[in-house]
Amino acid sequence: MRPPRRKPSDDTEQIELWGNPRESQPQRFAFSKRGMVSTAHHRATDAGVRMLAAGGNAIDAAVASAFALGVCEPQASGLGGQTMMVVHIAEPRSTFALDGSSRAPNRATRESMTKKERRRGHRATTVPTTPATLAYALDRYGKLPLAKILEPSIELAEEGFHTSALFHALSKRELANLKTYPAGSVFLKSGRRPFPVGSELRQPALAKTLRRLAAEGIEDFYTGEIARAIHDDMSAHEGLLHADDLAQIPWPVERKPISARFENHRVLTMPPPGSGPTLVRMLNLLEEFPTKRWTTDDPKGAALLVEIIRRSAVDRRDRPFDPTYHAQDEDSRKTKRENARITGNRIRRKLRAAMNAPRPPKTQGETTHLSVMDADGNAVALTQSIERVFGSFALTPELGFLYNNYMTAFEYEDMSHPYYMRPNAAPWASVAPTIVFRGQRPWLAIGSPGSERIVSAILQVLLRLRTQSPADAVAAPRLHCSVAGRVSIEASRFRDDIPDELARLGYEIDERDPYSFYLGCVALVLRERHGFTGVADPRRDGSAGGPRATSRPKPSSKDAEPESDPVAKAAAPRKKAKAKKKPTTKKPTKKPTSKKPTSKKKTTTSKKRKPGATT
């Protein structure tokens, strides 16, 4: 007999849209010969497409989309969060990871906050790195100026966007916290109730902040008027983030990606503190079993995948590694094939017996992801977050963006742990932006939000791409197994004997709705022979789109057709951009390019130097 259905817990990332219909569907599946953008919101996709149409490259498009997501998906990311990405530059050919880890403020210690203060309020906030990381990528590898990149985000904040059923459901779920903390003044209608689906949400304070960044440069966020406003607000609310924390501008660190072979592909993914090593371990473990078992469509294949996901997560938990703050050598055995053979034998023994799964610990985190490729061969996979849904629920009213609550992502008990709470420490991260190569060229840019479910979502899509179309691979039923053996599964979309077999083996079954919000939201771009395919996961509000050779009429109202093909809005700006300037427009030498990251990084300031690993 199948175990009873478990309802989602109160964790904010476990929201389900219980029959809550959207007004209309975004463009989930797209094709273009001139590049492709796939993000978690159609207006952010529009922003990236506009940059490609204006002569920008994949980095320009990714940065524009990332800023835009902070406006139209504020519950998941924004200026107050952190950003990680894997980037491939076609000329000169190189692939590297940008580690934009946040860090604890100078005054942060284990004793400086209660458990409640770690989750919500001003004390929950670490140093925001999203502005510095995006500016760094743009300045070194983009083609367009920051002011141009920020145009779509400023328009979105000033003119507003239409709220989705997902945003409404999350606001309703978090209504008590939104009312208690300053976030409610912006993200609740009249500060009292959730915006109805389809309502227009305007953010004039955020628009003003973005305009200042466009005019003064990203440094203003850390050392200028914006920094002073952050400091004053934090001081007034007894926050730990002060001016001296911001003044040490958190420029990202360029790192060598973690790599693995998967059939005839080379997979490059995010190194620590990201979860790329966990993805590599899963791929290595799969190679220890026959390819006919690489499926979740029958009980034996599902049981194998569930245990591979669980074992890999256990390994990450038990063998953490922080490359920035600790003089230690990474134990590479966890990503080696020799270790995969040993663990593979253990999995075989496990699948012959049953297990008693203990209650799992609560997971945390909410995120957003975007993927971009351009016609010149550049590619970006970018994941960013403010940690939990609506972050710390704290914001500075005159600035308009939410602060993160990454204080929840530290270790608080084991002092020897690399992510133990201490001043300037980096938090745990579950992100795994990934680029997959065929030969020397990027074939796939992929990633997902979803905390610990990120890597398992990516893995399942990679497996299905072997035999299914990109759209079918992303929309296919999905599952995940926690460290403690709890299997979250879109049960009604799997064979009905699969949950029964997993329960027989001792796993706890957590049945989820079809197309569950909880199980990730993959955004991918795939290079084909004659162009690019983009897919956005139907589990959230994402869309995909790319520039077209012919334009279509722009909708009469700015958002009257919010879920139409995103290229419709990109076409008119593209014509305008051609009339104003040439595609080869160079960046002005103003504040965004006057940064001095050499004091923070082991890198040179050469704009086109060869970073990280070459493919």
Q: In 10 A of CB 543, how many CB atoms?
A: 30
> pLDDT exceeding 70 applies to what percent of the chain?
77
* Three-state DSSP class for residue 369: strand
Residue pair 220/213 in contact (Cβ under 8 Å)? The answer is yes
**What does DSSP say about strands 200-201 and 479-481: parallel, antiparallel, or unpaired?**
unpaired
| Angle, alpha carbons 451-456-462 (nearest 5°) | 130
Whole-number Å distance between alpha carbons of 230 and 222:
9
CB 370 within 8 A of CB 433: no
Give the ranges where 476-559 is alpha helix by DSSP (H).
497-504
Q: What residues are paired with 373 via a beta bridge?
A: 36, 379
**The pLDDT value given to residue 579:** 41
Alpha helices in 224-291 (DSSP H): 225-236, 243-247, 276-286
310 within 8 A of 351, measured Cβ to Cβ: no
Instruction: Give the model's pLDDT for residue 53.
Output: 97
Q: In terms of Cα–Cα distance, which of 143, 131, 101 is closest to 224?
A: 131
What is the share, in percent, of the chain residues with pLDDT greater than 90?
Answer: 73
pLDDT of res. 607 = 43
As a 3-state breakdown, the chain gives helix, strand, coil percent values, each rounded to 5, of 35, 15, 45
- Is residue 330 scored above 80 in pLDDT? no
pLDDT higher than threshold 60 for residue 64: yes
Range with lowest mean pLDDT among 102-116, 227-241, 266-280, 318-332: 318-332
Higher local confidence (pLDDT), 591 or 192: 192
Which tokens is 273 given?
């503190």
Q: Mention every residue, 6+ apart, whose C-beta is less than 8 A from residue 560.
A: none
pLDDT at 166: 93
Which pLDDT score, from 0 to 100, does residue 418 have? 84
Q: Which of 45-59, 251-265, 302-316, 558-572 has the lowest mean pLDDT?
A: 558-572
Give the pLDDT mean for 285-294.
92
Which of 12-26, 50-64, 181-195, 289-303 comes out lowest in average pLDDT? 12-26
Closest CA to 203 of 165, 250, 167: 167
- CA atoms within a 13 Å half-sphere pointing along the CA-CB vector of 341: 3
- Among 178-187, 413-422, 463-472, 572-581, the least confident range: 572-581
Model pLDDT, residue 349: 52
**Are the CB atoms for 391 and 81 separated by under 8 Å?**
yes
The conformational region for residue 33 under phi > 0 = left, psi -120 to 50 = alpha, else beta, is: alpha
Asked whether the predicted pLDDT for residue 277 surpasses 80, the reply is yes
Whether pLDDT at 66 is above 60: yes
Question: CB within 8 A of 323, min separation 6: which ones?
Answer: 99, 255, 271, 272, 273, 330
Q: 12 by DSSP, 3-state: which?
A: helix
Please list, residue by residue across 548-557, b when 16 or more beta carbons sit within 10 angstroms of its beta carbon and e when fewer do. Answer: beebeeeeee
Is the pLDDT reported for residue 353 higher than 60?
A: no
375 is written with which tokens? 């016609």
Residue 273 has pLDDT above 70, yes or no: yes
Least confident of 137-151, 213-227, 361-375, 562-576: 562-576
pTM: 0.83
Q: What is the reported pLDDT for 366? A: 72
Cβ pair 99, 395 in contact under 8 A: no
- pLDDT reading at 350 higher than 60: no
CA dihedral 115, 116, 118, 124 (to 10 degrees): -160
Cβ 476 vs Cβ 557: under 8 Å: no
- Contact present, 597 and 137 (Cβ < 8 Å): no
- Integer Cα distance of 285 and 219 in angstroms: 45
Count the neighbouring beta carbons within 10 Å of the beta carbon of residue 322. 19
For residue 124, what are the contacts with CB-CB under 8 A and spacing of at least 6?
113, 117, 118, 391, 392, 394, 403, 404, 405, 406, 407, 408
Alpha helices in 374-524 (DSSP H): 453-464, 470-475, 497-504
Show contacts of 210-215: CB within 8 Å, 24+ apart.
210/67, 210/71, 210/150, 210/153, 210/154, 210/157, 211/150, 211/154, 213/131, 213/146, 213/150, 214/146, 214/147, 214/150, 214/151, 214/154, 215/147
Measure Cα distances from 484 to 250, 285, 436, 488 in Å: 35, 19, 30, 12
Is residue 363 scored above 70 in pLDDT?
no
Residue pair 31/531 in contact (Cβ under 8 Å)? The answer is yes
Q: 154, 243, 244: which is closest to 205 by C-alpha?
A: 154
